[in-house]
Structure 1
């Protein structure tokens, strides 16, 4: 009888051990393991991304099963962003939230990441490679809004013709190219001449020099397509002390000060905190194997002018 009891206890113990070893492969283990999710942005200069750090981290904290890391090259550079992607994979990333520098440069690195089982979610700017979802501003529509705001200001000043300069990042970053396209569309048939776009790599100092050259050419308006471009344009307008209308993109303390002091008319503020917050939730849903029903999410834009920063 004792042998039967011992045998039954051993069978029960074995069954419990096997049951304990069985877990949902899509879920972190009961030992406290967490999903490793990396946010990789274009660089560390775009201060509007600081709020994304908050948004993504807030979602990670709320979910409770996420180990969150923010990686960013010191400057916009394809090779450095590829290195960040590779470092995330080497670090055991389960998912990468990526704001891609351009459509093509990082695709091979993303394929390697996906082959390693990493889920890809785009925030702000997608690459030309399939992903779980893209959460971004409708950049073309936002660029058109920027153009319309400049047109209204020029009209109020009695300016119905003249040259307009555009300071962009480069010719390959999808988000800023779309902004420029929308901006140009706003001026179609309006009697203004949009000059050839000049590229400053998102660097404020380079962008200031470009904007200063535009001002020397007698432009009536300058559009900055991202934070660095906008800061550069605003500083050039401030230095020139003229009546050039400056409109930009992104939100930072420097940009808000330039608006407050009158050098910039306004800026198109994205919602990177929403991109980070919702992007994190999408990434974790994908890791759990849940269906992603909305794969293209417009996270919106707001016009911030002097009235908004008082």
Structure 2
């Protein structure tokens, strides 16, 4: 009887040990949110696609993409607060502006939420930033403008710039690079006009530029580029349009000659690498070092 009791006890102890090992071996699950500036641009869907791919490969991520319907600081702050309230372990953020969200990020960090920037950073320390070298990409766009103006035999004239707003770090840097490329080349660069990323607003601005006699227009993001191309299309004039980002609408405008080129980023890389880095930090495999990774840009023409 004693022998039977000891065997039974041994079996129970082993069962408990194996159970404990199984529990400890189970991968920890993490809640990770992607918060972009808005839901308007196909570009953000590219970041989401990269995040989904990484989440599927890792298998221990509860991932969600959320964003305001339009670019708005207050709405993006609300999204950050909601993510924290819903138990976020990490937030991948494309900041609408460099300063507006810092208080919300500070509160998130106080609750041990890891912050990773994708596309556009805020002025607040983060685990890492995955983004295009936007100033360099803007300079590339400026060189494409110069190349196409020279090809058309246009040696002087006014050039307009359409961007999102005066605060978004990524598009501000693109404008800076574009202006640097055109500086001293004999063209007059007009004051930048802002459309909040809305293609309809951008079209109205571009139409006004064309009325002013602009020989070229640069659209610094997807909505700005689509509006620029549509305005050139409707005007019937030979204005050089250079865009930024990629979408079905931009591809069509390039195919039909209403935009000469667009700067295409790698949003899926931003999302994929950003989410993987978040999990690596959460599991203690790597330390948060604030690294900035240039995910590259390509020039796409007809």
Q: Structures share a fold, TM > 0.5?
A: yes
1:200 corresponds to 2:195: yes
* Alignment deviations for residues 210-253 of structure 1 (CA, whole Å, 9 cap, x no partner): 11111111000000010111111111111111011000111000
> What is the Cα deviation at residue 22 of structure 1?
8.1
For residues 42-121 of structure 1, what are the structure 2 equivalents within 5 Å?
42-121=37-116
The CA distance in 1 between the partners of 2:22 and 2:144, in whole Å, is 61
Which residue number corresponds to residue 182 of structure 1? 177
> What is the Cα deviation at residue 89 of structure 1?
1.0
Tell me the TM-score normalized by structure 2.
Answer: 0.93
* Alignment deviations for residues 274-310 of structure 1 (CA, whole Å, 9 cap, x no partner): 001111111111111122467110000011111xxxx
The CA distance in 2 between the partners of 1:169 and 1:113, in whole Å, is 27
Which residue number corresponds to residue 224 of structure 1? 219
The CA distance in 1 between the partners of 2:50 and 2:20, in whole Å, is 37
Q: CA RMSD in A?
A: 2.2
> What is the Cα deviation at residue 111 of structure 1?
0.9
The CA distance in 2 between the partners of 1:51 and 1:253, in whole Å, is 13
Which residue number corresponds to residue 247 of structure 2? 252
> What is the Cα deviation at residue 20 of structure 1?
5.2
- The correspondence for 2:35, drawn from 36, 40, 65, is 40
Q: Mark the CA change 1:127 to 1:214 in structure 2 (over 3 Å): closer, same or farther.
A: same
The CA distance in 2 between the partners of 1:139 and 1:158, in whole Å, is 28
The CA distance in 2 between the partners of 1:96 and 1:271, in whole Å, is 19
The CA distance in 2 between the partners of 1:232 and 1:254, in whole Å, is 10
Which residue number corresponds to residue 302 of structure 1? 298
> What is the Cα deviation at residue 73 of structure 1?
0.7
Which residue number corresponds to residue 26 of structure 1? none
* Alignment deviations for residues 104-161 of structure 1 (CA, whole Å, 9 cap, x no partner): 1111111111111110000000000000000000000000000000100001111111
The CA distance in 1 between the partners of 2:73 and 2:283, in whole Å, is 31
